[in-house]
Amino acid sequence: MRWLIQKLVLHPMRQTISEDLGQVEYILTDKTGTLTENKMIFKRCCISGTFYGNENGDCLKDPELLQAVASGSPDAIRFLIVMAICNTVVPVQSKAGAVSYKAQSQDEEALVRAAARLNMVFLEKKGNILDINFNASLVQYEVLDTLEFTSERKRMSVVVRDCQNGNIILLSKGADEAILPHAHAGQQTRIFAEAAEQYAQLGLRTLCLAWRDLEEEEYHEWSLLFKEANSSLVDREWRVAEVCQRIEHGLEIIGVAAIEDRLQDAVPETIETLRKAGINFWMLTGDKQNTAIQIARSCNFVSPEPKGQLLLINGRTEDEVGQSLERVLLTMRITNAEPKDVAFVVDGWALEIVLKHYRKAFTELAILSRTAICCRVTPSQKAQLVELLKSCEYRTLAIGDGGNDVRMIQQADIGVGISGREGLQAARAADYSIGKFRFLKRLILVHGRYSYNRTAFLSQYSFYKSLLICFIQIFFSFISGVSGTSLFNSVSLMAYNVFYTSVPVLVSVLDKDLSERTVMQHPQILFYCQAGRLLNPSTFAGWFGRSLFHAIVVFVITIHAYAFEKSEMEEASMVALSGCIWLQAFVVALETNSFTILQHIAIWGNLVAFYVINWIVSAFPSSGLYTIMFRLCRQPSYWITMFIIVAAGMGPVLALKYFRYTYRSSKINILQQAERMGGPILSLGNIEPQPRSLDKDVSPLSISQPKNRTSVYEPLLSDSPSATRRSFGPGAPFDFFQSQARLSSNYTRNCKDN
C-alpha cells in the first residue's frame, strides 16, 4: 500500500472536465492527510497538571515522565491505560514475536505506539479480551461496550472490566471542548484547557483523556438502553448519541496528549505558486482554531505580519456571531483596497449560525476574502461551503484524502482525492486522484491550462470549418435561384468533415503555446484561462467572421475563375473544395504554436492525401468525378486560383495577427517571443486584476447578494491595474443585523475532530 501511495502521481477518474482545471478560482482543502503527511507522532503531554516534553520537544525521552512511569505513578499509569485501550486498534504479532498495529485512525496508532514505548504494550486482542504487558506483567481487560467516534460527539469511549479486580471503567478520549465540559463537579479543568491551547499554538493536534469508575448496577441499566438504541430501526444514530451522553459525564480528566503531524514536502511552495496564479484557498479542518492557524501560516495561506492579517468570527449566540461578522466585514471592506493579505477564521459553531441566519453577509465576505480558515467543521459544513462558492458562479476545486471529505469533493466542480493513509474513499469519489498535494500544482498549471487551450481551439475550429462550407452553400443557393441544388456532392461533404479537416485538428492535443518550464515559472498567466480569454463570445465571433470572410473569398474567386468558362459544375465544386482544404491547412498551421513531426504530417500530409484520394476517385467513371482532378491539376489556372485564394484569405489574418503581436501583445505573446528568441524571460510584473469591487451605495448594514459575475476579459487585454475581477450584480438589500430570535437551547453543535 505504501508503495502504491508513493508511485501514484496522477490518475484521472473522468476525462470530460479536464479543461475546467485551467479555470479553477477557489481551492477548498482538508488539512490532515492532505496538507500534512498523516504520520502522527506523540510529542508532548500534560498529566494531572504536569507538562512533559516541553524542554526537548519529545515527551517519550523526558526523564521526568520515564521516572513517573517507572515509579508507578497512578495518574501516569491511568494515562497510559487510556492511550493503549481506548481505541479500535488491532495488534498483529509476527512469528518473531514483534507486535505491529493496524488502525483506521492515525491518531490512535500514534497513541498506542507511544504507550508501548512507555512499557504499556498492547499485545493481543482475543475476542473482547485485551492483553496488556506492563513492565513484564500481563494485565487483561474485557471490552464490554464501545462508544464509537462521530463528528457530532467528537469523542469516543470504551467500557472495560478489569479482569483482576472486576471493576468497570469508562475510558474516554476526544477534543478538549468535547471532554472538559463533562468533567465531574469540583475538578479544575483550567490547567488542561491551557495545555490544549498551548499545544495548539505549536501546531499540534490535541486529545483529552478521561477516566470514570462505574457501578455495576449503573452499567447494567445503561447497557440495556445502549443495546436497545443500537437495535433501533428509526433514528438509530440520534438514539445512540443520546444514550452515550447519559454515561459520558462526571469524568475525571487525566491529561492532554499532543500529536505532531508534519507537512508534506513542497506544500508551502505549491500554495504560494497557486496563489500567484490567482487561486484563492480555503482550509476546512476539524482541528482546533490555533492548530489550524499555525498550519495555515506554515503553509503560506497567510503572509506573516504585518502584511498578513487574520480576522476572527466567533461567538456562542446569534447576536454575538452577527456582531463579530459585522466587524470582520467592515474591516474587510476597508482593507480590500490596500495591498494586504487578509483572511478570516471561523469555527464550526459560528459557521452553523452564519449559514443559517447571515448567509448573504457571509457570501459577500467570501467574495472579498482570498483566504479562509474554517476549523471544527463537519463534513456537511464542508459541502455547504463549496455550494456557497458555486452559487457565486466560481469554479471550485475540492481536495481531500478521507471519507469525511467525500461530500465536499463530490459537491465541487472538480474533485481531487489523495490516495493516503486513510484509504481510497476520497480518491475513488474524486475526478482525479493524486499521491501528494504538491502534484496539484502541475495538474492545474500545466495539464489544466493546456487542456483549456486545446479545447478552446478544437471547439472553435470545428465551428469554423463547418460554417465555412455552409456559407459557401448558402452563397451558391442565391446564384442557383434557390433551387436547392448543392454545390458539393454528398461524398465530398462527408469526406470534408470526416477526413480532410478532422485529421489536422486531432493532433492539436500535442500543441503547447508555452513550455512547461515557462508555465511553472510564470503561474500568473493562468489568469487568461480563468478569464475565458480563449473561449468566450468574442472569440467565437472572431471565428464566425473568419469563416464568413473565407467563404466569401473561396466562393467569389471560384465563381469568377470558372463560372464564365465552359466548365462543368463538378469542376467549380472541386475548385471550391480545394480552396477550403488549402485555407484550413494554413489556418491550423497559423494557430499551431509548437510544431512536431506528427503535426507537420497531419497538416501537410493531409493536404497531399486530399489530392491522392481525389485522383483515385477521379479514375472511376461511376464516381461522378470522373477525370475532374486530372484535368484540374493540368491547368495552370487551377494552381493560380489556389494561390489567390490562400493569399486573399490568409493575408488579412496574418496582418491582424502581426498587429496584435507587435502593438497589443499580451503577456503570453511576450513569453512566446522570448522562448523563440532564446533570450532570458524577465518578470512579467503583476497581471492580476484588483480584488472584487462592491457597489458603492451599499451601506455597512445592508448587503447585496451577488447575482452574476462580470467578464474579466478586458483587464487581461489591457492589463489595467484598476480593472476588477468581480462585481455585485443588482440584488435586494437587506438588514442582515436585524434582531433575530435566540438559538434554541437544544441547538446542537456539529463539529468534527479530523
4 located within any domain: no
State whether 198 and 258 are in the same domain: yes
pTM of the predicted protein model = 0.80
Note the pLDDT of residue 169. 94
Note the pLDDT of residue 731. 36
Do 212 and 169 form a contact (C-beta atoms < 8 A)? yes
Q: Which of 435, 468, 500 is the last residue of a domain?
A: 435
Amino acid in position 634 = R
Q: What is the pLDDT of residues 186-229, one digit of tens each?
A: 888 899 999 999 999 888 999 999 999 999 999 999 999 999 99
CA distances from 601 to 64, 205, 274, 607 (A): 76, 59, 37, 9
State whether 389 and 277 are in the same domain: yes
Amino acid in position 213 = D
Note the pLDDT of residue 723. 35
Q: Is the pLDDT of residue 710 over 80?
A: no
Determine if residue 149 is labeled as part of a ligand binding site.
Answer: yes
Confidence label for 679 from pLDDT (cuts 50, 70 and 90) = low
The residue behind cell 505504501 is 2
Percentages helix, strand, coil for the chain, rounded to the nearest 5?
A: 50, 20, 30
State whether 623 and 557 are in the same domain: yes
Note the pLDDT of residue 561. 83
Do 37 and 260 form a contact (C-beta atoms < 8 A)? no
Beta-carbon contacts of 488 under 8 Å, excluding residues fewer than 6 positions away, are 469, 473, 496, 573, 576, 577
417 located within any domain: yes
Q: Which of 633, 661, 676 is the last residue of a domain?
A: 676
Handedness of CA 670, 673, 678, 679 (dihedral sign): negative
710 located within any domain: no
84 located within any domain: yes
Determine if residue 173 is labeled as part of a ligand binding site.
Answer: yes
Q: What is the pLDDT of residues 543-556, one digit of tens each?
A: 999 999 999 999 99
Note the pLDDT of residue 686. 54
CA atoms within 13 A on the CB side of 406: 11
> For the chain, what percent of residues have pLDDT higher than 90?
43
734 located within any domain: no
Q: Which is higher by pLDDT, 5 or 435? A: 435
State whether 67 and 215 are in the same domain: yes
Q: Which of 676, 693, 715 is the last residue of a domain?
A: 676
State whether 209 and 278 are in the same domain: no
CA 630 to CA 181: how far, in whole Å?
A: 94
State whether 553 and 406 are in the same domain: no
Q: Is the pLDDT of residue 683 over 90?
A: no
258 located within any domain: yes
Q: What is the pLDDT of residues 512-563, one digit of tens each?
A: 888 889 999 999 999 989 888 888 999 999 999 999 999 999 999 998 887 6
State whether 516 and 540 are in the same domain: yes
CA distances from 672 to 593, 645, 667, 715 (A): 9, 29, 9, 20
Do 458 and 448 form a contact (C-beta atoms < 8 A)? no
Determine if residue 30 is labeled as part of a ligand binding site.
Answer: yes
The residue behind cell 505532531 is 260
Q: Is the pLDDT of residue 144 over 60?
A: yes
Note the pLDDT of residue 695. 42
Q: Is the pLDDT of residue 244 over 80?
A: yes
239: exposed, middle or buried (C-beta count within 10 Å: 0-12, 13-18, 19+)?
A: middle
Note the pLDDT of residue 563. 63
Beta-carbon contacts of 521 under 8 Å, excluding residues fewer than 6 positions away, are 681
368-392 average pLDDT score:
91
Q: How many domains does the chain have?
A: 3
Q: Which is higher by pLDDT, 692 or 687? A: 687
Q: Does an H or E element contain 140, and which?
A: strand 137-147
To the nearest whole number, what is the mean pLDDT of the chain?
A: 83
Note the pLDDT of residue 127. 87
C-alpha cell at 370: 482570498
C-alpha cell at 343: 483572511
Determine if residue 749 is labeled as part of a ligand binding site.
Answer: no
State whether 136 and 210 are in the same domain: yes
Q: Is the pLDDT of residue 370 over 70?
A: yes
Note the pLDDT of residue 262. 87
Determine if residue 56 is labeled as part of a ligand binding site.
Answer: no
Handedness of CA 32, 34, 35, 39 (dihedral sign): positive
Do 451 and 431 form a contact (C-beta atoms < 8 A)? no
Q: What is the pLDDT of residues 609-642, one digit of tens each?
A: 999 988 888 888 877 777 888 888 888 889 999 9
State whether 213 and 272 are in the same domain: no
742: exposed, middle or buried (C-beta count within 10 Å: 0-12, 13-18, 19+)?
A: exposed
Confidence label for 146 from pLDDT (cuts 50, 70 and 90) = very high
State whether 576 and 617 are in the same domain: yes
Active site positions, annotated: 30
Amino acid in position 479 = I
Note the pLDDT of residue 306. 62
Q: Which is higher by pLDDT, 332 or 687? A: 332
Determine if residue 205 is labeled as part of a ligand binding site.
Answer: yes
Domain coverage including residue 64:
38-262
Q: What is the pLDDT of residues 567-598, one digit of tens each?
A: 678 888 889 999 999 999 999 999 988 888 88
C-alpha cell at 453: 487551450
Note the pLDDT of residue 10. 65
Amino acid in position 57 = G
Which of 357-366, 426-435, 696-705 has the weakest average pLDDT?
A: 696-705
CA distances from 345 to 290, 311, 340, 351, 390 (A): 10, 6, 16, 10, 20
Strand-pair partners of 345: 312, 373
Q: What is the pLDDT of residues 484-503, one digit of tens each?
A: 788 888 888 888 888 888 88
Determine if residue 347 is labeled as part of a ligand binding site.
Answer: no
Note the pLDDT of residue 705. 35
441 located within any domain: no
Determine if residue 341 is labeled as part of a ligand binding site.
Answer: no
Note the pLDDT of residue 631. 85
**CATH code of the domain in which 129 resides:** 3.40.1110.10
Note the pLDDT of residue 6. 44
59-84 average pLDDT score:
92
State whether 231 and 301 are in the same domain: no
108 located within any domain: yes
Q: Is the pLDDT of residue 442 over 50?
A: yes
Note the pLDDT of residue 117. 92
DSSP code for 685: -
Note the pLDDT of residue 567. 61
Determine if residue 382 is labeled as part of a ligand binding site.
Answer: yes
**CATH code of the domain in which 412 resides:** 3.40.50.1000
Note the pLDDT of residue 480. 81
Q: Is the pLDDT of residue 158 over 80?
A: yes
CA 338 to CA 368: how far, in whole Å?
A: 12
State whether 207 and 339 are in the same domain: no
245-261 average pLDDT score:
92
CA distances from 438 to 35, 207, 272, 339 (A): 9, 29, 11, 27
